Every structure is written in C-alpha cells, then in structure tokens.
A = this chain, B = another copy of it.
Amino acid sequence: MPKRNFTQSSLYMIFSYKGYLVRRLSIDLIWIVIPTTILCAVHEFNHVDIKMNFTVPGLLGAILGLLLVFRNNTAYDRWWEARKVLGGLVNTSRNYALQVENLLPESEHKNEIIKLIGAFPFVLKEHLRDGVVYAELDFLGEKLIKELKEWKHVPNAVNQLIQRRLRIAYDNKEITDFQFLKLIENSDELIDIMGKCERIHNTPMPSSHSYLLKTYIYVYAIIMPFGLIDNLSWWTIPAVMMIYYIAMSIVTISEEIEDPFGKDPNDLPVDRIAQNIYNNVQEIITK
C-alpha cells in the first residue's frame, strides 16, 4: 500500500499545477486586463473622478463567494463519493474472490470466475474513459476475451459471464440454492458500483450553475475596478488579476475533480486501485 508522500507531491504540484492553471487561465486573464487597463488610463490621464464606493462590488463579492463555496463543496463531494465507490469496489472484489475460493471446488469455471473478478476493475476504469483496453486483460486468456469482445457494454458482459459460470456450478450441484444466490449478490454489488461510477461520470453540474457562475465572475471582474481605482490607481490591475485568478482557480479545480476517473493530476489513482485489486485476488487464490 503506497505511503503518502507529501513533500514530493507538493513540490510536483507547485510546478506542474501553477503552470497548468496559468496556462488554462491566461487567455481569460487578457480579457480582464484590457478593460481594467483602459479604465486606469482614463482615470489617470483624464483625471475623471469615478464616483463609486465599494458597496456594489462588496455585495456582489459576497454572493460570488457563497456560489464559489457551493461549487467547491459539490465538486469535492463527488470526488469523495467516487473514492468511496472505488473503495467499495476493492472490498466487494476481495469478498467475491474469497467466497468463490472457499465455496466452489476446483474446476475450470471456478478459475475463470476468479479471473473475471480480477478483470472487472480494469474493464470498468476504461469503460469510464474511452473504451476497454484489451491489452490489460491478457491474463484472461483468449477465449474469455473473445467472448467479451462481442458485447458493447463490457462491464455488464463480465458480470454476465461470471453469473453463467456460477449457474454451471449450481447446475452441477457444486453449490446449494442458497449459496448460489449469495454469490450472485456480489455481482449485484459490482453492477451497483458500476452504476454509481457511471452516474458521477455522466452527470455534470446543472449547466445553468456552471454557466452563471463563470458569467458572474467575469461581470464581477469588470465592475470591481470601479470600486478600487480611486485608492489603488495602477495597482488596480494586479489586484483584479489576482482576485480573478483565485476565483477561477477554484472553478477550474472543481471542474477537474468532479469527474475523477480520468488521468489528470487531481484524478483518483484508478489504475493503481485496479492493480491492487488484481494483486489481492491473486494472493487469495494462490495461498
């Protein structure tokens, strides 16, 4: 089980993340800097007195702050729910393998079931990305891979193949009626876990929320200089950029972590988890 490595990841983040965010936000920042600079120039050279105190930007800022917190919390909640679901995948796979190992006598279909249990996390993670990568599933053997390739929804296929083999064991009287249904319950749980992953992956925030939040941040960045310019003159430009950057960095991170099954630096270690499950299942059957 890998240890946390704070300093290393922290250093990595400082360089990769700052650069990453700066890159993503730099084009937006231009659109904020231009009107602010014009305003500063007008104010400085024409000595136009901008009669606005800070009350309107202050009010808007409070509403925006609350919307940012909402955005941040809901994104984190999804990320953490996704982590819980993957934790459930680890547990269910271990349990399933342990039970099959202890209940079924040695046979070809038993081996295939355990292989399929170990394959499910690999299949699921790529199903949530661009499609199943059969190269990861070499250990299944050609026959099973050929069967899987006939299906569109491969994770469903893995469960169907497992259940068919359990049915064979039941028909051969290797397990009782009751044991058969107990084993099937684990498949139900795997389907449940898959469904939860699909839900998190396929349901972005209500688009009105993410659209309005971005619009309001932009509007806010346009209005804010009017409230600052009398005090800060040219310093208004870095002040507005900084506040815009901080607000948008929260939005950007939220967008990344709310669908955590990809390969971005903030995503969950899905590949490592799949490999761990495979290792645990292997250890259970070889001992």
Number of copies of chain A assembled together: 5
A152 to B202, CA, bound (A): 34
Interface digits, A88-122 against B, CB 8 Å rule (1 contact, 0 not)?
Answer: 10110011001100100000000000000000000
B-facing residues in A61-80 (Cβ within 8 Å): 61-63, 65-70, 72-74, 76, 79-80
Instruction: Give, as a whole number of angstroms, the nearest-CB distance from A269 to chain B.
Output: 8
Q: A164 at the A/B interface (Cβ < 8 Å)?
A: yes
Q: Establish whether residues B246 and A60, one from each chain, have CB atoms under 8 Å apart when the complex forms.
A: yes
A231 to B6, CA, bound (A): 39
Q: Which of B68, B232, B268, B283 contacts A152 (CB 8 A)?
A: B283
Q: Which of B1, B6, B206 contacts A79 (CB 8 A)?
A: B206
Contacts of A65 in B (CB 8 A): 62-63, 66
Interface digits, A273-284 against B, CB 8 Å rule (1 contact, 0 not)?
Answer: 000000010011
Closest to A167 in B: B102
Contacts of A61 in B (CB 8 A): 59, 62
Q: A142 at the A/B interface (Cβ < 8 Å)?
A: no
Instruction: Give, as a whole number of angstroms, the nearest-CB distance from A222 to chain B.
Output: 11
A196 to B95, CA, bound (A): 14
Q: A35 at the A/B interface (Cβ < 8 Å)?
A: no
A247 to B235, CA, bound (A): 26
Contacts of A231 in B (CB 8 A): 51-53, 55
Instruction: Give, as a whole number of angstroms, the nearest-CB distance from A86 to chain B.
Output: 8
Q: A209 at the A/B interface (Cβ < 8 Å)?
A: yes
A127 to B55, CA, bound (A): 49
Q: How many residues of A contact B (CB 8 A)?
A: 113
Q: Establish whether residues B70 and A70, one from each chain, have CB atoms under 8 Å apart when the complex forms.
A: no
Q: Establish whether residues A284 and B91, one from each chain, have CB atoms under 8 Å apart when the complex forms.
A: no
Contacts of A247 in B (CB 8 A): 63
Q: Which of B86, B90, B182, B206 contacts A253 (CB 8 A)?
A: B206
Q: Establish whether residues A246 and B182, one from each chain, have CB atoms under 8 Å apart when the complex forms.
A: no
Instruction: Give, as a whole number of angstroms, the nearest-CB distance from A124 to chain B.
Output: 12
Q: A19 at the A/B interface (Cβ < 8 Å)?
A: no
Q: List 26 A-B contacts (CB under 8 A).
A: A1-B201, A4-B259, A9-B207, A13-B211, A14-B211, A14-B215, A17-B207, A17-B211, A55-B57, A56-B232, A60-B243, A63-B247, A70-B76, A79-B206, A84-B199, A87-B195, A90-B198, A91-B188, A91-B192, A94-B195, A102-B163, A102-B164, A151-B283, A157-B287, A177-B179, A209-B253
